């Protein structure tokens, strides 16, 4: 996922509950779908951040020296400024970008 192209808001906003249950007919099912997607996004973000920060890791035996790298700090700040995973998942759900099915339902 390209996090630079995310259109989700950066802060929490009030949502119209009737829009959340349009696709499923049930607000709680919609929230369950959004929460599962938010968990997926969170794991993906964490793995991507860890991959990028591994490049800067220093495998020295001494803990006395701690090096701060400007690039490493910029990468961390970029990920801190991104919208939270639940906001991204909610935006995807409202834009009909999520594909989901109920357990036991035939695949179309």
User: How high is the pLDDT of residue 104?
Assistant: 73
In a domain, 81, yes or no: yes
Which tens digit of pLDDT belongs to each residue from 6-53?
878 888 888 888 899 899 999 999 999 999 999 999 999 999 999 988
What secondary structure does DSSP assign to 20-86, as a single string?
HTTTTS-HHHHHHHHHHHHHHHHHHHHHHHHHHHHTT----S-SS-----HHHHHHHHHHHHSPPHH
Question: What is the domain count for the chain?
Answer: 1
Residues spanned by the domain of 77: 17-57+65-94
85: in domain: yes
Largest interatomic CA distance in the chain: 59
User: Does residue 8 lie in a domain region?
Assistant: no
Token output for 93 = 């759900």
Q: Domain for residue 45, yes or no?
A: yes
Q: Is residue 3 part of a domain?
A: no
The pLDDT tens digits for 46-71 are: 999 999 888 877 665 555 555 667 88
Is the pTM higher than 0.95? The answer reads: no
The reply to whether 86 falls in a domain is: yes
Q: What percent of the chain has pLDDT over 70?
A: 86
**Would you say residue 48 lies in a domain?**
yes
Note the pLDDT of residue 94: 92
């Amino acid at each position: 996922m390209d996090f630079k192209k995310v259109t989700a808001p950066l802060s929490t906003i009030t949502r119209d509950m009737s829009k959340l249950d349009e696709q499923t007919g049930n607000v709680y099912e919609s929230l369950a779908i959004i929460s599962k997607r938010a968990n997926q996004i969170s794991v993906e973000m964490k793995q991507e951040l860890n991959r990028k920060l591994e490049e800067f890791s220093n495998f020295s035996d001494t803990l006395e020296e701690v090096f701060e790298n400007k690039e490493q700090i910029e990468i961390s700040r970029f990920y801190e400024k991104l919208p939270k995973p639940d906001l991204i998942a909610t935006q995807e759900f409202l834009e009909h970008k999520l594909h989901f099915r109920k357990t036991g339902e035939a695949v179309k």
